[in-house]
Structure 1
Amino acid sequence: MESGRRILSSKTYETVKTFLFFYVVLRHSIKVQRHLRARGLFTTARELYTWIAQYIIMLALRLPAARRKVKTEMDKARLDIENSLVAKGADVTRHLSLPAEGHTPEWILAEMEKMDQEMGKPNTWKAGKLSGAVYHGGDDMERVIVAAYAKYCVSNPLHPDVFPTIRKMEAEIVAMTLRLYNNPDGAGTMTSGGTESIIMSVKTHRDWARAVKGITEPELIMPASGHAAFDKGAAYLKIKVHSIPVDPITRKVDMRAVKRAINPNTIMLVGSTINFPDGCQDDIEALGKLAVQHRIGLHVDCCLGSFIVPFLEKAGLSEGVNGKYKVHPFDFRVPGVTAISCDTHKYGFAPKGSSVIMYRDAQLRRYQYYVNPDWVGGVYASPSLSGSRPGALIAGTWAAMQYMGSNGYLESCRQIVTCARRIADTIEASIPELYILGSPPASVVAFGSKNAEVNVLEVGDKMSQRGWHLNALSNPSAVHIACTRLTVDAVDMFIADLKDSVREAKTQPSGKGTMVAVYGLGNSSAVGPAMVGQLAEAFLDTLYKA
């Protein structure tokens, strides 16, 4: 009898072990199959090759000679970064500890002016030689915002009973933005910027999918041109990302690849109107159909399109010219769109640090909230990532929107988009060495080189020497400018400088400029991205070097 029990116990154990083995194999086989469907065999093989190559090279770099060489080069690069950001010299005043006695307002303003002079670039942005970065609504707007700041500088919407006006302003900002995107009955919150808006949307869709569909291993699908904030949010929230290639001509995400990538763990799709790299628009209607079909979320990133794309139709610019620059439906009128992010601090001209995340309905927004009813300090509830928030930013945003009004934003859209299209048309008509990426309908224009005669990043370096601050892109190698109100008055200078820069890059290439160096380091070998990562960390470290 005892022997029979042992045999039965042994068989049960072996059966359970076999079951667990096949369960693990099946589980991982499903994951591999889904990954292959999303990435394709060629891309998966390339990713595997890159990973192996990086691993081997990193092992090789541990050899003493290689380690010394890499350290020497990295130290030089770090020093270059530090020299470009940190003021040097014995005459530079440094404030590293609190003063024994507080200074007067007059001293503080004078010291700020002195620091501007020490850093060597006071207010150079006013010349308009920037790609995005400063979305200036004019001196009058600045005075309106500063007045709002002064009135509400100590306010905090965490305490709506103490600051009821700030609560009212925030609700009105969200309501106005929802109407702008054709969803007056929707819901939303303010955030500190586009990155927080996107991360909040990712968190919302993750928690919705877990509660409604039981998804515990969430995945999202986004175009390769989608903003890095989606990757950032996914990294924070432990979500797998499938990055889908975009068409090299249209710059729209490959819809067939998106469809293949969808699986039972998919929580959301992502599309842009417009994207950051080249200013083009994804096919939101097609993405919406997939979202409805599979009952998943669709986030439309309009952070950069913000207060430009909703006004294109009224400005008579949505149909484009001769088939170029046409804008397709992108807002809540498209079935399947569940969330839209819009940066008020870009073309809304609100103070930096303000954005709106919108949802189709209030029920979905609840998954964004954080609520802790059991905290010893009392019930804790917050709508977004921050607890305390600067009410002055909300007041400044509300004031900016009231100051501009619909007609003000309409005229701003018309001027900025006309400026961007003039740049694109001029490049296509009179700079044969370059081409425009896709058909950008709004404020961003990206250009690449047609042949090896001209390195477009070399062109970017030449533009930098002329005082322009443009953005270098990779895959494909390109340079872009995000036009603002400041660019409108500088567009003739931009075109003239671009033509001269192309000519110089063609006849006198140096290959040693900032854009060229960073691009080469990032793409010339498998180890490049790791080195660029270290440089990026050095750059971030330098930001806090006093």
Structure 2
Amino acid sequence: MSGVISTLRTQYPLGLLKNVVFTLWLLRYTTKAYRHLIGRGLIGSVKDIHAAVTRWAWGLLLKLPSSRKKIEAEIAGAKEQLEMKLVNYPQTLRRFETLPSSGLSENEVREELQALLSFSSKPWSEIQSGQVSGAVYHGGSDLSTLTSEAYSLFSLSNPLHPDIFPAVRKMEAEIVSMVLRLFNAPDGAGGAMTSGGTESILMAVKGAREMARVERRVREPEMIVPRTGHAAFDKAGHYFGVKVWHVDVDPITYKVNIADVRRLINPNTILLVGSAPNFPHGIIDDIAALSDLAVRYEIPLHVDCCLGSFIVPFLERAGFASEPFDFRLRGVTSISCDTHKYGFAPKGTSTILYRSHHLRQYQYFVSTDWPGGVYASPSIAGSRPGALLAGCWAAMVRVGEEGYLESCKEIVGAAKGVEAGLMEIDGIQIIGKPLVSVVAFTSTDLNIYEIGDELSKRGWHLNALQSPPALHIACTRLTVPVVDKLVQDVRDAVQALNEEGREKGSEGSMMALYGSGVTEMPDKSVVRRLATVFVDTLYKA
């Protein structure tokens, strides 16, 4: 053995090996730097370096004893406020932190359920008043009763066992088929159901990563996402080890900047992303231009239509302006669509659609060596609630095309009414040109979060946005009768703040964590900790 090592040292000096390793290391990071420079441009790269240095400096500053002490005090205060808001139960409400020694009677359980139903920061009647942005995608009380009946009938079913529950398999396949047709899928298209938009997006990213790994041998995958794209793409990047390039949107149209997307494409790019529409501002990206890039560079394109769901496909037929977004564009390879939003299905149902069965197979998980047998599942979950699928199927076949068309007319009509009314208020500015159900607005004169606080006093629950600061309302069928009230309340809120002499720089108490804590500090570690405290509080019994 020593002779072999001696021979290797003679023929391949250690210094040479070191040089080879160093050269490979230098080549790798020089290539990364070159791609970054090409993708971001010189000015963009300088801005990225400046931002990184600024974050580093702020991170050091926040680690100083004086800063840490202040931050800990603020986090403790925020935690106390959150617990007071979220865990402040009425004394009359029973707590169950351990199993009761003897089970409650059926009547006692019903009484507890009624008590829980009445326990809310907003009464259920107020939640259904139309003053809540999105959240409750109501298809009507009769439809809710019907979907509840379907849920009850299939409450014990599990799609993991199609041989035992063939009816659930049939319903799931038909749901996917109906949604595929809605988005003009070609022959040979396929899809699957998931627990929500986030899982649908996760599956699209996972599938694109696997396809690039298998077919193109990509080992350092990257995807290009509009800065307004859903946070689920960042979650997917975090979970699946995919680098996420965020691309700014045009400051006027708020559509993703196509030129910036083009510059960022490189051999490691596994996925392009567009929204139809995006969550923050309700703007449909230029999907046609993204499709052209996808075809030219042979890269998959995913369209996030979770929010647009059963609205965007009906825009043209409803008489509203629309833009190309679905499988009729050659470059579109996958689409995520939530059935539990404007499809009025029970919460916990969504779909991920693919141009072909071949693409869909990359999202599957298959284990062939498990002692329990061959295990294969289409998505993240193993066991799934067949009851939700039954409720979804019931909602879709009950509403039908004509029902969804009328719903589109009502909801988009309401959004147009909100947009037109807000445009008449001095100091209020609509963001972009929304075509669907979301209307985002900011203020040129006042702190928009102060306006949000005033609206909260008037019973409204709107979503707070950041970068730039704004508010939005996602219109639903419940919004239709209260459009005029919203416009008037915004007008009154602006007038009240003007009379108080509030300036744009004044602080509002409205936070933004998925719409609820905003900070402009370059280092987001404090915000991250506050968000963690918020999630921890959700599990405090």
TM-score tier (shorter): over 0.9
Structure 1 segment 364-379 matched on structure 2, within 5 A: 364-379=359-374
Match of 1:394 among 364, 389, 401: 389
TM-fit CA distance, 1:116: 3.6
Whether the 8 Å CA contact 2:147–2:346 is kept in 1: the answer is: yes
SS in 1 for 2:332: coil
The whole-number CA distance in structure 1 between the counterparts of 2:146 and 2:251 is 44
Whether the 8 Å CA contact 1:38–1:242 is kept in 2: the answer is: no
TM-fit CA distance, 1:52: 2.9
SS in 1 for 2:143: helix
Instruction: Give 5+ residue unaligned stretches, structure 2.
Output: none
Match of 1:444 among 433, 438, 444: 438
User: Is 1:81 matched with 2:78?
Assistant: no
The whole-number CA distance in structure 2 between the counterparts of 1:8 and 1:61 is 50
Whether the 8 Å CA contact 1:470–1:480 is kept in 2: the answer is: yes
Structure 1 segment 319-330 matched on structure 2, within 5 A: 327-330=322-325
Match of 2:331 among 336, 342, 347: 336
SS in 2 for 1:280: coil
User: Is 1:314 matched with 2:317?
Assistant: yes
Which residue is 2:417 aligned to? Answer: 422
Which residue is 2:105 aligned to? Answer: 104
> What do the CA deviations read for 1:389-443 (whole angstroms, capped 9, x no partner)?
0000000000000110100000000000000011111222x11201111111010
> Which one-letter code corresponds to 2:411 in the other structure?
I
User: Is 1:431 matched with 2:425?
Assistant: yes
Which residue is 1:70 aligned to? Answer: 71
TM-fit CA distance, 1:120: 4.5
Structure 1 segment 16-55 matched on structure 2, within 5 A: 16-55=17-56
The whole-number CA distance in structure 2 between the counterparts of 1:350 and 1:161 is 25
TM-fit CA distance, 1:457: 1.7
SS in 2 for 1:128: coil
Q: Which moved more, 1:352-361 or 1:5-14?
A: 5-14
The whole-number CA distance in structure 2 between the counterparts of 1:312 and 1:92 is 46
Whether the 8 Å CA contact 2:274–2:290 is kept in 1: the answer is: yes
Which residue is 1:196 aligned to? Answer: 199
User: Is 1:523 matched with 2:519?
Assistant: yes
The whole-number CA distance in structure 1 between the counterparts of 2:196 and 2:121 is 28
SS in 1 for 2:510: helix
Which residue is 1:542 aligned to? Answer: 537
Which residue is 1:321 aligned to? Answer: none
The whole-number CA distance in structure 1 between the counterparts of 2:8 and 2:353 is 63
The whole-number CA distance in structure 2 between the counterparts of 1:533 and 1:444 is 27
> Which one-letter code corresponds to 1:86 in the other structure?
V
SS in 2 for 1:357: strand
Instruction: Give 5+ residue unaligned stretches, structure 1.
Output: 319-326
> Which one-letter code corresponds to 1:440 in the other structure?
P
Structure 1 segment 348-363 matched on structure 2, within 5 A: 348-363=343-358
Whether the 8 Å CA contact 2:151–2:390 is kept in 1: the answer is: yes
> Which one-letter code corresponds to 2:494 in the other structure?
V
SS in 1 for 2:342: coil
SS in 1 for 2:478: helix
> Which one-letter code corresponds to 1:387 in the other structure?
G
Structure 1 segment 229-378 matched on structure 2, within 5 A: 229-318=232-321, 327-378=322-373
The whole-number CA distance in structure 2 between the counterparts of 1:7 and 1:516 is 64
Match of 1:132 among 123, 126, 134: 134
The whole-number CA distance in structure 2 between the counterparts of 1:457 and 1:147 is 42
TM-fit CA distance, 1:13: 3.4
Identity %: 50
TM-fit CA distance, 1:102: 1.6
> Which one-letter code corresponds to 2:461 in the other structure?
H
TM-score by length of 2: 0.94
CA-atom RMSD, angstroms? Answer: 2.0
Which residue is 1:323 aligned to? Answer: none
TM-fit CA distance, 1:82: 1.4
The whole-number CA distance in structure 2 between the counterparts of 1:496 and 1:449 is 16
The whole-number CA distance in structure 2 between the counterparts of 1:543 and 1:28 is 42
Structure 1 segment 479-518 matched on structure 2, within 5 A: 479-508=471-500, 509=502, 511-515=506-510
The whole-number CA distance in structure 2 between the counterparts of 1:6 and 1:344 is 68
Whether the 8 Å CA contact 1:39–1:244 is kept in 2: the answer is: no
TM-fit CA distance, 1:516: 6.2
Distance 1:520 1:92, change over 3 A: closer
> Which one-letter code corresponds to 2:415 in the other structure?
A
SS in 2 for 1:221: strand
The whole-number CA distance in structure 2 between the counterparts of 1:395 and 1:335 is 33
TM-fit CA distance, 1:90: 4.6
